């Protein structure tokens, strides 16, 4: 195979294959997942054997004579099996970082299989045709296709996302986005997130071995069956908020939470799902500025070009809760441009025709999650602390009235609890903090939430277009 695409980034290149540290200075390397003897060729040409230890990312051996530990990070190194014909036949694998290549010999073909099985979770493999049978294409994008495949050893089914190397290589943004997506997905292990198991590289493609989720998307589920019951919708959104809390614990922002990126793990269970597509995800080290997302779900601060953080995902979750309860989208129109304008202005109406049977507690949660101002919007962790997610009595009129005030004479709902004491609010037009004379944060007329019978387009009549607003070099390209 030609030089690996992963060796092209300067940040991934290493001048030395091994890193040496004194055993007295070593820290925890992580759990040892496999170990055993491997042989290498000495400078004199003879084979010498050492015990090697494998963690989730590194291969390690001990140079006992010098009290030195040698380790090598395998994350972006290419691992290829090989057989040397002769008497006796030799089995082994080589590991390359694009600059240097190291050869390791095993005692038998069975030992080679064991090493390759464990190494496949740590580095980049090359022999995908020997490990998986491609059955059919189940998805397609601008430079990636998704296939249903079967593991030839375990007979388990997987989804394989095959990314064209030509398109990735021809764009720095595409390359960086692919690397970032892989780096993020390697960190994730959550029951409601599609898991990345292994990575392969062939002459023409990068192959990501993912969980296969046989169900439909959440969007297809809503279109075919309509809105969920309030009980199921709240259970669903609680799970989604737990996913966002988990991502937040790793400083990860998804930035494209929407029904199309949520796969139903079981079409008979409306609350069992897996989040997919981390193509726009990034690690937060401060405020973000790149404009990206999907019309109708992107947080207003992104469209207003205000620096943002992980609360943008909470806004998207709030929009999904709105759709789950009403079967309708609050912003979508027949035009992506008009949808983005509504999305930016963040008018959200609750018509009695669709919301008359929804409890005020549920409406209150929707309102809180979809606050136009990120300063007033909760984090996922804060939202999960709401009593509503702790099984409060939904039939209690007293509880309802304490959560949300009735509409005023203008037909507008006061989104603040009656007990709310002096609090700051955001004037988004001036981008400053202010407090009104009554010590209550009353949003300006442009940001009020109407309970009038506004016409909201049906979800299944909406033409959904993925958007990206370029504003700086950080902006990733969409697939």
* Residue 31: predicted pLDDT: 87
Give the pLDDT mean for 25-42. 85
Where is the domain boundary, 126, 149, 164?
Answer: 126
Q: Domain range holding 228?
A: 218-469
475 found inside a domain: no
Q: What is the pLDDT of residues 118-147, one digit of tens each?
A: 999 999 999 999 999 999 999 987 789 999
Question: ∠ CA(30), CA(31), CA(32), 5° rounding?
Answer: 115
Number of domains in the chain: 3
Same domain, 363 and 271: yes
437 has a pLDDT exceeding 60: no
Q: What is the pLDDT of residues 298-335, one digit of tens each?
A: 999 999 999 999 999 999 999 999 999 999 999 988 89
d(CA 118, CA 467): 39
Residue with the bigger pLDDT between 413 and 120: it is 120
Same domain, 198 and 84: no
Report the candidate in 381, 386, 388, 237 with the shortest Cα–Cα distance to residue 310: 381
d(CA 389, CA 479): 36
Pick the range with the lowest mean pLDDT from 44-58, 146-160, 188-202.
44-58
479 found inside a domain: no
Provide the annotated binding site. 161
Dmax (CA) of the chain? 93
Active-site residue list:
256
476 found inside a domain: no
Same domain, 146 and 60: no
Q: What is the pLDDT of residues 334-377, one digit of tens each?
A: 899 999 999 999 999 999 999 999 999 999 999 999 999 999 99
Residue with the bigger pLDDT between 150 and 444: it is 150
Same domain, 349 and 334: yes
CATH of the domain at 243: 1.10.510.10
378 found inside a domain: yes
Same domain, 348 and 438: yes
Same domain, 173 and 90: no
CATH of the domain at 186: 3.30.200.20
Same domain, 151 and 86: no
Same domain, 400 and 265: yes
Same domain, 65 and 179: no
- 270 touches 293 (CB < 8 A): no
Fill in the DSSP letter of residue 108.
Answer: S
Which residue intervals of 226-269 are DSSP H helices?
230-249
* Residue 391: predicted pLDDT: 61
Same domain, 140 and 85: no
399 backbone φψ class: left, alpha, beta (φ>0; ψ -120 to 50): alpha
Provide the annotated binding site for ATP. 161
Where is the domain boundary, 177, 211, 245?
Answer: 211
Fill in the DSSP letter of residue 217.
Answer: B
Same domain, 374 and 307: yes
């Amino acid at each position: 195979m030609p030089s690996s695409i992963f060796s092209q980034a300067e940040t991934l290149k290493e001048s030395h294959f091994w890193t040496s540290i004194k055993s007295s200075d070593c820290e925890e390397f992580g759990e040892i997942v496999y170990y055993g003897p491997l042989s290498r060729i000495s400078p004199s040409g003879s084979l010498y054997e050492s015990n090697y230890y494998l963690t989730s990312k590194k291969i390690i051996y001990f140079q006992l004579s010098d009290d030195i530990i040698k380790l090598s990070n395998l994350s972006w190194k290419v691992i290829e099996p090989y057989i040397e014909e002769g008497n006796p036949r030799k089995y082994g694998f080589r590991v390359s970082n694009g600059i240097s290549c190291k050869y390791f010999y095993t005692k038998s073909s069975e030992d080679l299989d064991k090493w390759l099985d464990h190494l496949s979770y740590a580095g980049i493999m090359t022999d995908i045709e020997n490990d998986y049978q491609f059955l059919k294409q189940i998805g397609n994008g601008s430079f990636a296709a998704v296939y249903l495949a079967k593991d030839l050893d375990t007979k388990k089914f997987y989804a394989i996302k095959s990314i064209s190397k030509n398109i990735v290589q021809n764009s720095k943004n595409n390359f960086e986005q692919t690397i970032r997506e892989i780096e993020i997905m390697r960190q994730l292990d959550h029951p409601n997130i599609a898991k990345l198991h292994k990575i392969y590289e062939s002459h023409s493609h990068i192959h990501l071995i993912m969980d296969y989720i046989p169900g439909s998307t959440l969007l297809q589920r809503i279109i075919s069956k309509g809105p969920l019951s309030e009980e199921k919708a709240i259970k669903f959104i609680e799970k989604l908020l737990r996913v966002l809390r988990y991502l937040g614990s790793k400083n990860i922002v998804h930035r494209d939470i929407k029904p199309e990126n949520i796969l139903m793990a079981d079409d008979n269970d409306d609350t069992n799902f897996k989040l997919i597509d981390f193509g726009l995800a990034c690690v937060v080290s401060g405020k973000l500025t790149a404009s990206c997302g999907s019309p109708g779900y992107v947080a207003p601060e992104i469209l207003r070009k205000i620096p943002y953080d992980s609360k943008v995902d909470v806004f998207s979750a709030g929009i999904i809760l709105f759709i789950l309860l009403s079967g309708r989208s609050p912003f979508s129109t027949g035009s992506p441009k008009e949808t983005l304008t509504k999305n930016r202005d963040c008018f959200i109406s609750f018509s009695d025709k669709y919301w008359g049977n929804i409890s005020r507690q549920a409406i209150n949660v929707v309102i809180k999650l979809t606050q136009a101002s990120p300063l007033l919007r909760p984090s996922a962790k804060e939202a999960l602390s709401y009593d509503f997610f702790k099984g409060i009595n939904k039939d209690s009129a007293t509880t309802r009235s304490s959560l949300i005030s009735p509409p005023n004479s203008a037909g507008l709902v006061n989104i603040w609890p009656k007990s709310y004491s002096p609090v700051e609010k955001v004037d988004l037009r001036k981008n400053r903090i202010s407090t009104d004379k009554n010590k209550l944060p009353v949003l300006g007329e442009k940001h009020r939430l109407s309970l009038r019978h506004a016409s909201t387009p049906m979800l299944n009549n909406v033409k959904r277009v993925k958007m990206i607003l370029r504003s700086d070099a950080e902006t990733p390209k969409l697939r």
